[in-house]
Amino acid sequence: MKNVLLFVVMGVLLILVGTMQSWNVALAILNMCLISAVMALGVNIQWGYAGLFNAGVMGFTALGGLAAIVVSVAPVPAAWDAGGARAILGLLAGLATIVGGIWLWKKLPVSRTARIWLTALLAASGYGLMRLILDPAVDAIEAVEPAMTGFLGGFGLPIMFSWIVGGIFAAIVAWAIGKVALGLRSDYLAIATLGISEIIIYFLKNEDWLTRGVKNVNGLPRPVPYEIDLQGALWFHDVAAWVGIPVVEASSLIVKLNYVVLFLVVLIAIFWLSERALRSPWGRMMRAIRDNEIAAGAMGKNVTGRHLQVFVLGSAVIGIAGAMLATLDGQFTPASYQPLRFTFLVWVMVIVGGSGNNLGSILGGFVIWFFWIEAEPIGLALMNFVTSGMAIDSPLRLHLLENAAHTRLMTMGLILLLVLRFSPRGLIPEVKR
């Protein structure tokens, strides 16, 4: 009952924004709330089910964005002619080096020191070979009309495929990082994921042949109609006139509503699957491992193996959310990925919502995103009120007003600390089964 009430309050808040600011703003917030909820579900699978701290949410989100490019953008034939085959050959050389290195490391019947040196030698020479093949191809590709393309483009498929591909990308990286960092002390995973997420962002910023880097990829194709087409359609004019909303506003509302429906379907599907998993014997085992690793290990459960599994699954969900985010934005801007916004904010959502409870994570995604956006006008209003007694051009007042936006970081930190301290189980606590 209390849970329903919480969601009703959330809905009322969104409706308030709709009536007081505008419905467009309210729907934009709702769309981001839905995506945030999916991200929070992914983190909750890792943290709530298994107690794993993933500090690299940003990286997995960005990999989803990469998937959106690779899947949906039309291929650039000139770039493929210039260096496509060679680039693929270079990547294959890199892949072969990695596979060969792992094989050497695992299988070679020599002493440990010899193995370390041989693997290092193979890695170095393989890397050199890859660079030798790849570098000219990269130069050739980036030279193809750099102002317009300068990258390979994608496969030109419908962008909704990228939601699955984004999940797969994130899962692959998560598997690799989990293989290295899981099974060691708990904070090593946090530091390793923090590192890989930064590197993913650097990679996306600098590998122009794949992502156009900081030149961004704009105008990703949409899964929903374009406003301009709606505005051109006669039937739409009739509908708008019948509802009584100006055509331009109506078109943008309809587009956003379309997104809401799509995202809602994904959210409900992932929520349903997560709940099923949590209630299954698998979920029970995960909780057993989380609550007492040693006891679970003694019962014959493969703790590290299950951790790897749940880490990959959670990251895949985050990757899906990342692809959805790029779809909604209609563009891919690697420079916009900031750890505070994409990693730690999602953590606030999960903790505030209630770790271990999927419904809680969804609510947390909604509440925190809502206040992340609305904290800015609220903070500004508050600062205006605080400074109303000061002279109009007092430097302190100007400084406070100018930096009012940063109060939201402080607010989020404060919310996280207060919830951890006074209500560590969150808004919707985990149900003990």
Partner 1 sequence: MLIDLLNALALIGNFVLVPGIAYGSQLALGALGVTMVYAVLRFSNFAHGETMSFGAMVTILVTWVLQARGFGLGPLPTALLALPIGMIVTIGLCLGTDRLVYRYYREKKAVPVTYLIVSVGVLFFLSGLIRFIIGPKDQVFADGQRFIMKARAFKEMTGLDQGLAIKTSQGITVITAVMIVALLFWFLNRTRTGKSMRAYSDNEDLALLSGINPERVVMITWIITGALAAIAGTLYGLDKGYKPFTYLGLVLPIFASAIVGGVGNPLGAIAGGFVIAFSELLVTFAYKRVVGYLTPGDWVPDGLVQLLSTDYKLAVSFFILVIVLLIKPTGIFSGKTL
Residue 328 CA to residue 322 CA, distance in Å, equals 10
With binding defined as CB under 8 A, does residue 184 bind partner 1?
Answer: yes
Residue 209 CA to residue 167 CA, distance in Å, equals 22
With binding defined as CB under 8 A, does residue 420 bind partner 1?
Answer: yes
With binding defined as CB under 8 A, does residue 394 bind partner 1?
Answer: no
| Region from 3-11, 220-228, 298-306, 416-424 binding partner 1, contact rule CB under 8 A | 416-424
Give CA angle at 189 (183, 192), nearest 5°: 125
Site for partner 1 in 116-145 (CB under 8 A): 116, 135
From candidates 194, 250, 310, 363, binder to partner 1 by CB under 8 A: 194
User: DSSP 3-state helix, strand, coil percentages of the chain (rounded to 5)?
Assistant: 80, 0, 20
From candidates 2, 421, 432, 433, binder to partner 1 by CB under 8 A: 421
Residue 267 CA to residue 261 CA, distance in Å, equals 10
- For residue 139, give the DSSP letter: H
Residue 111 CA to residue 108 CA, distance in Å, equals 9
From candidates 86, 205, 222, 425, binder to partner 1 by CB under 8 A: 205
Which of 276, 269, 277 lies closest to 362 in space, CA to CA?
Answer: 269
With binding defined as CB under 8 A, does residue 186 bind partner 1?
Answer: yes
From candidates 280, 384, 394, 403, binder to partner 1 by CB under 8 A: 403
Beta carbon nearer to partner 1, 74 or 340: 340
Q: Count residues contacting partner 1 (CB under 8 A)?
A: 45
Residue 232 CA to residue 427 CA, distance in Å, equals 46
Beta carbon nearer to partner 1, 198 or 275: 198
With binding defined as CB under 8 A, does residue 78 bind partner 1?
Answer: no
From candidates 187, 229, 238, 291, binder to partner 1 by CB under 8 A: 187
Beta-carbon count within 10 A of 24 CB: 13
From candidates 25, 190, 257, 373, binder to partner 1 by CB under 8 A: 190
| Region from 63-71, 148-156, 183-191, 243-251 binding partner 1, contact rule CB under 8 A | 183-191
What is the nearest approach in angstroms of partner 1 to the Cβ of residue 266? 27
With binding defined as CB under 8 A, does residue 241 bind partner 1?
Answer: no
| Region from 146-154, 164-172, 194-202, 224-232 binding partner 1, contact rule CB under 8 A | 194-202
Residue position matching structure tokens 């007694």: 389
From candidates 94, 100, 283, 339, binder to partner 1 by CB under 8 A: 339
- Write the CB contacts of 39 (distance below 8 Å, at least 6 apart in sequence): 57, 61, 317, 318, 321, 322, 346, 349, 365
DSSP tally for the chain: helices H, then strands E: 21, 0
With binding defined as CB under 8 A, does residue 185 bind partner 1?
Answer: yes
Chain-centroid distance, C-alpha 58: 6
Chain-centroid distance, C-alpha 250: 30
What is the nearest approach in angstroms of partner 1 to the Cβ of residue 187? 4
217: helix, coil or strand? strand
Give CA angle at 185 (183, 187), nearest 5°: 120
From candidates 94, 195, 283, 330, binder to partner 1 by CB under 8 A: 195
Which of 118, 87, 91, 79 lies closest to 102 in space, CA to CA?
Answer: 118
Which of 235, 356, 415, 315 lies closest to 54 in space, CA to CA?
Answer: 315
With binding defined as CB under 8 A, does residue 409 bind partner 1?
Answer: yes
What is the nearest approach in angstroms of partner 1 to the Cβ of residue 50? 11
With binding defined as CB under 8 A, does residue 340 bind partner 1?
Answer: yes
From candidates 202, 229, 276, 280, binder to partner 1 by CB under 8 A: 202
| Region from 60-68, 84-92, 234-242, 338-346 binding partner 1, contact rule CB under 8 A | 338-346
Residues binding partner 1 (CB under 8 A): 51, 53, 55, 116, 135, 180-181, 184-188, 190-192, 194-196, 198-199, 202, 205-206, 339-340, 344, 347-348, 351, 399, 402-403, 406-414, 416-417, 420-421
